[in-house]
Amino acid sequence: MNTGLENLGFITVAIGYITMTVAAFRVSFAWGICALLLQPMQFVFLFVHFKKAYPAAIIYVIGCTLLCLA
């Protein structure tokens, strides 16, 4: 059975994923498609466009932390 902390972690990770994808689409359509279809490309995007991607990365890390604590 899922706990509330697990559910919150999954929701936070999903928000981070969506936020990172939106940031990639704001840079260019090609980055957006790559980030949407290929999960590892989001990490490449994070390193290439750190200033635009770090808020989404922080949300993603918070979600993963919540999942680890659950």
Query: Using one digit for the tens of pLDDT, what is the confidence trace for 21-65?
Result: 999 999 999 999 999 999 889 889 999 999 999 999 999 999 999
d(CA 61, CA 23): 16
| pLDDT given for residue 1 in this prediction | 58
pTM equals 0.84
For the chain, give every domain's residue range. Answer: 4-69
